[in-house]
Amino acid sequence: MSKLRIFHGIAILALAGAAGFTFSQSQWLGAGAKSETLQQLQQLKQYDSALNQEALKVRAGLVQHYDPLVQATYRVADVVIALQDTESGIVGKGSRDIDQLVKQYAQLYEKRVTITERFKARNSTLRNSLFYFPTAATLFIKHAQEKKAPQAMIETTERMLRDLLSFYVNGNPDMHDRVQKGLHEFSRLADDAPEGLEREITGLMKHASIVLRHKKQVDDMLVQITSPESLSVLDSLVHVYEGEQSQSEGTVELYRAGFFVSATVLVCYLIFLIAGALRRDSGDQGAATRLTGRPVLASDRAA
């Protein structure tokens, strides 16, 4: 085998390999660029906002159960798990920024779930005490009047009811202090209460204390649940992902251009080799024809 043929063989293999490599890369990257991840991220932003809305509805008393809030947390979890999937997700695919942002959001989500569970428990206790106190206070005033309790105790109860409801609505620190002061006054007057009211007094003081204590705790938890930090992380994740997708699309175009160039050169090279081979065959056949059809010379006859 001549050196020229070896050279042609190597050249053909190199061009075919370049065409195959650029084609496979353009197909692989093109599939990634057409993924549905961006739609998942937009969907996650909607679910995140829905989680905030359901928490606010619960706190405002617009819903009587926690099912919508729980379902909202599950929907967020489903997308977070999908993003972290080793095969179809976007984590572990070579982007540190994306990996870090997904991890950060997942941590924020876990923290929100923990706070949400505490929020549900404290809010239920708060609502029970809040709903109980007005009815219990009204009955206590009635019983206190029937048993000739001190007028100061009745007035303190009425004032506590008014201030407690005002504090629950607006969270005014002054109202908090007034209710706290009323509790101290109520505790002092309880020693002079008629027999049979002790249990009612204990219940009133217990539920008023729960409202004072849990009101701020529940409000603080709501602030943490609805913090804009998670949505901010999602916005950053979408921005980074879109940027990397744009870069990926540019790389795909480069690989496609490389495929067309290498394929074109390969075809042209093959045509060149085939044409050269055909010319050589045609020349050999012409030489043979000329050799066969030449005149008989005298020397030939003598031979």
Q: What is the pLDDT of residues 132-170, one digit of tens each?
A: 999 999 999 999 999 888 898 899 999 999 999 999 988
Residue 26 lies in a domain: no
Residue 123 lies in a domain: yes
Residue with tokens 């303190």: 156
Run of H or E residues at 187? helix 173-189
Q: Say if CB 29 and CB 250 are below 8 A apart.
A: no
Residue 5 lies in a domain: no
Residue 156 lies in a domain: yes
Distance between CA 175 and CA 162 in Å, rounded? 10
Biggest CA pair distance of the chain: 165
Among the ranges given (105-114, 139-148, 246-255), the one the predictor scored with the smallest mean pLDDT: 246-255
Count CB atoms within 10 A of the CB of residue 38: 13
> Whole-model pTM above 0.85?
no
Residue 83 lies in a domain: yes
Residue 23 lies in a domain: no
Hey, what amino acid is at 205? M
- Our measurement of the distance from residue 167's CA atom to the centroid of its chain's CA atoms, rounded to an integer in Å, reads 37
Q: What is the pLDDT of residues 24-40, one digit of tens each?
A: 655 544 444 346 788 88
Q: Which domain holds residue 222?
A: 37-243
CATH code at position 87 = 1.20.58.920
Cβ burial of 238 (10 Å; 0-12, 13-18, 19+) is middle
Q: Which of 37, 60, 30 is nearest to 234 (CA)?
A: 37
Q: What is the pLDDT of residues 193-250, one digit of tens each?
A: 888 888 898 899 999 999 999 999 999 999 999 999 999 999 999 888 888 776 555 4
Angle formed at CA 101 by CA 100 and CA 107, multiple of 5 degrees:
90
Residue 15 lies in a domain: no
Residue 79 has pLDDT above 50, yes or no: yes
Q: Say if CB 226 and CB 52 are below 8 A apart.
A: yes
Q: What is the pLDDT of residues 80-103, one digit of tens each?
A: 999 998 887 888 878 899 999 999
One DSSP character per residue, 200-262 reads: HHHHHHHHHHHHHHHHHHHHHHHHHHT-THHHHHHHHHHHHHHHHHHHHHHHHHHHHHHHHHH
Q: Indicate the number of domains in the chain.
A: 1
Question: 8 is written with which tokens?
Answer: 């042609």
Residue 25 lies in a domain: no
